[in-house]
């Protein structure tokens, strides 16, 4: 592919999320709120009860797992903070191997094209290491950690309208 063709292709691509993984989401989002004016935060718990087809290295996860996910918008970019609580996940592995910090960036792709895009990357030797779904959201983490220091996530990133019983807002309005 020529540089010009690559430039044209990349004009259509969109990074929509940056994620930090932490051992203490409350400490992390409080710092971001107090010191950097980032918030409010939507906080929810994801587990085998509300996610689907979660796989690690191509193997379906049959164990219980739980992680806390926090989102705040910065312009049209979503900042995400994730704390693993229990069970297997890409986040626990990252914390064990690297400690807290930048875990991934996410590129929005058409959900219908997601399988073909994953197959294209796999042909280049970039494996799907963690994937699944939440509601209508589909996500795939690519094995880029050793090469670039963080995972590269691709997914459809839909605008979810969740019932208020599925998340809380921090800080609460007074």
Output the domain CATH number for residue 47.
3.10.180.10
pLDDT the model gives residue 167: 84
Q: Is residue 35 part of a domain?
A: yes
Scanning the chain, the segments in alpha helix (DSSP H) are 3-11, 25-36, 90-98, 114-123, 145-148
Global pTM value:
0.93
Q: Is residue 168 part of a domain?
A: no
pLDDT the model gives residue 173: 76
pLDDT the model gives residue 36: 98
> Is the pLDDT score of 56 beyond 70?
yes
Q: Is residue 8 part of a domain?
A: no
Q: For 58-107, how does the pLDDT look when each residue is reduced to its tens digit (9 = 90+)?
A: 999 999 999 999 999 999 999 999 999 999 999 998 999 999 999 999 99
Q: Is residue 166 part of a domain?
A: no
Q: Report the half-sphere exposure of 103 (CA within 13 A, side-chain side).
A: 27
Q: Is residue 5 part of a domain?
A: no
Q: Is residue 9 part of a domain?
A: no
Alpha carbons 132 and 56: distance in angstroms, whole number: 9
Q: Is residue 86 part of a domain?
A: yes
> Is the pLDDT score of 119 beyond 70?
yes
Beta strand pairing call for 66-74 and 41-47: antiparallel
Q: For 24-38, how does the pLDDT look when each residue is reduced to its tens digit (9 = 90+)?
A: 999 999 999 999 999
Q: For 102-111, how does the pLDDT look when each residue is reduced to its tens digit (9 = 90+)?
A: 999 999 999 8
Q: Is residue 167 part of a domain?
A: no
Q: Which domain holds residue 65?
A: 14-159
Please tell me the total count of domains within the chain: 1
């Amino acid at each position: 592919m020529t540089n010009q063709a690559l430039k044209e292709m990349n004009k259509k691509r969109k990074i929509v999320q940056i994620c930090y993984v932490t051992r203490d989401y409350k400490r992390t989002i409080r710092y971001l709120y107090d010191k950097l004016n980032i918030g409010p935060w939507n906080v929810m718990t994801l587990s085998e009860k509300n996610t689907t087809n979660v796989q690690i290295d191509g193997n379906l996860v049959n164990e219980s797992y739980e992680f806390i996910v926090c989102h705040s918008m910065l312009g049209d970019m979503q900042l995400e903070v994730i704390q693993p609580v229990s069970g297997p996940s890409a986040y626990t592995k990252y914390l064990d191997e690297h400690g807290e910090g930048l875990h991934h960036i996410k590129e929005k792709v058409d959900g219908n094209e997601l399988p073909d895009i994953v197959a294209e990357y796999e042909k280049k030797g970039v494996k799907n290491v963690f994937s699944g779904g939440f509601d209508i959201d589909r996500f795939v983490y690519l094995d880029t950690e050793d090469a670039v220091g963080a995972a590269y996530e691709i997914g459809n990133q839909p605008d979810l309208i969740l019932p208020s019983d599925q998340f809380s807002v921090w800080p609460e309005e007074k």
